[in-house]
Amino acid sequence: MKSGRDVYRRMYNWVRMGEHERLQILNKDTPLVRRKKLTDGAQKRHTFKTDEKAMLQAVFANNERPDEHEMEEIVVQLDVKYDIIRIYFTNARRRKSNVPSRTSAFNFN
């Protein structure tokens, strides 16, 4: 980690530079290219419709860990990718385990 004084020196030197020099430095660093590389393979977030979510919650209430065959049935019914359903159940289990009980959350004793 750099000291506070070093940051101010760099800022002072930056202000003293000519505009042409600063633009050259900024053009060498291309943050748009880096962002594009990170997002090229990333999938967009999937949002379930209300009826789809209700179905998934009902399945989760009956079975928190559906087997591969059951998950394939859900995939066909909802017409989504297998990984989306797998991740939904993983996240649902995680949410369930991290939720504090309502009685302990407001215990003022």
Q: Is the pTM of this model over 0.75?
A: no
Give me the tens of pLDDT residue by residue for the chain, a chain 109 residues long: 456 788 888 888 888 988 888 888 777 655 544 444 445 566 688 899 999 999 999 999 999 999 999 999 999 999 999 999 999 999 999 998 876 655 555 555 5
Which among 92, 88, 91 is positioned nearest to 78, based on CA atoms? 88
Counting the structural domains of the chain, the total is 1
CATH of the domain at 18: 1.10.10.60
Which among 82, 89, 103 is positioned nearest to 61, based on CA atoms? 89
Tell the burial category of 48 from Cβ atoms under 10 Å away from its Cβ (0-12, 13-18, 19+).
middle
Please report whether residue 40 resides in a domain: no
State the Cα–Cα distance between residues 107 and 15, nearest whole angstrom. 56
Range of the domain at 8: 4-28+46-98
Please report whether residue 104 resides in a domain: no
Please report whether residue 18 resides in a domain: yes
